[in-house]
Amino acid sequence: MVFSFFRSSRPAAGASSSPQARSDSLADRAWTVHRRVDEAYEELGPFATVMARRILDGVAAVLKQAGSEERLDIRATVTLERILDDYLPTTLRTYARARHDPASMPQVERQLVHLASAVEETLVAVRDNNVQDLQVQGDFLDTKYNGSDLRL
């Protein structure tokens, strides 16, 4: 049975995040995800747990680099929100299911690696105050995790 956090964390298409989720700081949300990842260790196993922690450590590094969430560029804020509220939980939910289907594991493992790289690139862009890189990174993640950027 997949841990309930990973079943219900993604809002329905077109739905906005709950007011409670929006009012929590990014650091609080990252800590909540971290605790839930630890609780789901049996379902996730070592690889996904370590990768999730690496991603969450990257989120913490971005927040530290900015000095405060209020000083964080809106593009970085949106990227971190999406990672914490959608991309990471969805990928972990998929990973927990894929553990029973070894043929799909390499693809899901790559998703975790891509998320870790995205957080590292966000950190570099925040450190360098590179607004263009933040926009490109956010667009890349949105396209990768939400489908095509072509809207008909």
pLDDT in tens, 27-44: 999 999 999 999 999 999
Residue 140 predicted with pLDDT over 70: no
Q: How many domains does the chain have?
A: 1
Asked if residue 32 is part of any domain, the answer here is yes
Q: Nearest-CA neighbor of 132 among 87, 64, 58, 76?
A: 76
Residue 16 lies in a domain: no
Does 4 reside within a domain? no
pTM, 2 dp: 0.76
Q: In this structure, is residue 10 part of a structural domain?
A: no
Range of the domain at 94: 22-146
Q: Is residue 120 part of a domain?
A: yes
CB atoms within 10 A of CB 115: 23
The answer to the question of residue 151 being in a domain is no
Q: Count CA within 13 A, CB hemisphere, residue 109.
A: 11
Alpha-carbon 108 to chain mean position: 14
pLDDT digits (tens, 9 = 90+) for 86-139: 999 999 999 999 888 888 889 889 999 999 999 999 898 888 876 665 666 666
**What's the pLDDT score for residue 104?**
85
pLDDT at site 1: 42
